[in-house]
């Protein structure tokens, strides 16, 4: 395995670890529109993969297929050795192992911050209330807003809400975290606090797939950067090679537009 390779092969894991997510030949159609075409990708344990690309390139669809918010039409997806099928128990098992952070936070507005975080552990993992709340407070310490525990989402700033959303996904102790443009709905001054939280997570060894437009974050934290366009993986590489020495014309064009 060469660290300097830059190509269209996203199945080579960098940064060690066994494959925890395997995507083999996945196609996804929305009616006549082909959102994903023959995607092959692997993500290793403790690896941080950043997926970038123009809007409509299928990057969100890809990670939404991994926890079955979208159903893929062809190919195989394995998460921690479990293959995604139409069996609901199978899907539930995979969803327990993967956390997801959304662009629009999607906190539950009728529940307090604490209840937002303890809901899934208590309902899905049957964790006792006291234990769930202790874990939730630990997580809130970790994202640095323990004092907000009894408030409602509507009373928090966007950045705080997104950090709560991260804490909420962590409460299920997932093996993988999926980030779907976590900073795109935030005011500029709040982006940093969320990115810092994500960096901390990466440094602690969390396996992450991030769809993002934050190139600084990609450069600093990613083990691998995957560039997608028109539903296909165009180019893959380490951040240095990807940003400093892109090979494909499509990548160069994209980078010239956003950098």
Residue closer to other proteins (CB basis): 25 or 30: 30
Structure tokens at 46: 């403790």
State the alpha helices, DSSP H only, in 9-74.
59-66
CB of 120 to other proteins, least distance (A): 4
Count of residues for the chain? 259
For other proteins, the binding residues (CB under 8 A) are 67-69, 92, 95-96, 98-100, 102, 104, 106-110, 112, 119-120, 123-124, 126, 150-155, 165, 168-169, 172
Residue closer to other proteins (CB basis): 7 or 92: 92
CB of 229 to other proteins, least distance (A): 25
CA-closest candidate to residue 167, choices 130, 206, 209: 206
Tokens 């779907």 identify what position? 180
CB of 12 to other proteins, least distance (A): 28
CA-closest candidate to residue 211, choices 5, 6, 89, 69: 69
Residue closer to other proteins (CB basis): 116 or 251: 116
Rounded (to 5) percent helix, strand, coil in the chain: 40, 25, 35
CB of 163 to other proteins, least distance (A): 15
- Residue 119 has φ and ψ, to the nearest 5°, of -55, -60
Residue closer to other proteins (CB basis): 39 or 117: 117
Answer whether 248's CB lies under 8 Å from 9's CB: no
Residues pairing with 77 in the sheet? 23
Answer whether 174's CB lies under 8 Å from 79's CB: no
CB of 107 to other proteins, least distance (A): 8
Residue closer to other proteins (CB basis): 154 or 188: 154
Residue closer to other proteins (CB basis): 51 or 177: 177
CB of 182 to other proteins, least distance (A): 13
């Amino acid at each position: 395995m060469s660290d300097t390779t830059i190509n269209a092969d996203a199945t080579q894991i960098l940064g060690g670890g066994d494959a925890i997510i395997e995507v083999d030949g996945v196609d996804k159609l929305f009616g006549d529109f082909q959102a994903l075409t023959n995607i092959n990708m692997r993500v290793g344990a403790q690896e941080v993969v950043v997926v970038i690309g123009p809007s409509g390139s299928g990057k969100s669809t890809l990670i939404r297929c991994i926890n079955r918010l979208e159903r893929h039409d062809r190919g195989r997806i394995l998460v921690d050795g479990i293959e995604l099928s139409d069996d609901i128990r199978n899907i539930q098992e995979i969803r327990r192992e993967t956390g997801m952070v959304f662009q629009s936070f999607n906190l539950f507005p009728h529940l307090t911050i604490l209840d937002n975080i303890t809901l899934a552990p208590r309902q899905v993992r049957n964790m006792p209330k006291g234990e769930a709340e202790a874990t939730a407070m630990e997580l809130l310490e970790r994202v640095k807003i323990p004092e907000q525990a009894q408030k409602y989402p509507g009373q928090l700033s966007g950045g705080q809400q997104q950090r709560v959303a991260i804490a909420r996904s962590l409460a299920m102790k997932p093996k993988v975290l999926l980030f779907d443009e976590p900073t795109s709905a935030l005011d500029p001054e709040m982006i940093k606090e969320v990115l810092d939280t994500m960096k901390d997570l990466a440094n602690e060894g969390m396996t992450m797939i991030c769809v993002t437009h934050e190139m600084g974050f990609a450069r600093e934290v990613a083990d691998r950067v995957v560039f997608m366009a028109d539903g296909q993986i165009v180019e893959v590489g380490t951040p240095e090679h990807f940003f400093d020495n892109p090979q494909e014309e499509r990548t160069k064009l994209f980078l010239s537009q956003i950098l």
